[in-house]
Amino acid sequence: MQSIDRVELREMFPPPGDLVVQKVLDRLDQHCLHFLSLSPFLLIATQGHNGADVSPRGDPAGFVKAIDRQTILIPDRPGNNRLDTMENILDNPRVGCLFLVPGLGEILRINGEADLVVGPELEQLAFQGKTPPVAIRIRIGEALFHCAKAVIRSKVWNPATFARREDFPPLGAVLADQIAGLDKDEMIEWIRVGDQRTLY
């Protein structure tokens, strides 16, 4: 294999068609807002001094709130406290997000600049009586829908392709293999209990 540069890459593909260019919006339209209201899951990409990172966020559908047509809020829920995404945003505000809706092939992509916000306004992001201590605010630079090709090819929503639990070990077993001194059964149970008790 050999590396190629931008010129060589572009020579391999025809230029994007007018539709591909024209579908990029600089704000949320009614379809973007509708899709956000249905989406329970997103991936957010950031870049910091340690390099690139992609992190998942998930909650009941509609958990990401549109403040206006150019601004969204993503609540921070309890996690592993690595804070990779948020610390990266403090280094570099440019972010990219992919929003998915189970059962639908389309994917909403939002690129923009983010900051971290606190304050009583975050009460609108509360769930099960708990308000997030901080939220990611994204000011939208680009919003566009991806067609369903990746979802169709991957069959990601097709139950017939779903892995069985026995096809891959639970995280507790993985960590016990990766970190010396951990007991597999204890880790499996600790994570199982923690996943239920510390969701919010």
> Model's pTM, two decimal places?
0.94
How does pLDDT run across 64-113, given as a tens digit for each residue?
999 999 999 999 999 999 999 999 999 999 999 999 999 999 999 999 99
Beta strands in 28-155 (DSSP E): 41-48, 51-58, 65-68, 71-75, 94-100, 107-117, 135-146
48: number of Cβ within 10 Å: 16
**In order of start, what are the domains of the chain with their CATH numbers?**
13-154 (2.30.110.10), 163-197 (no CATH)
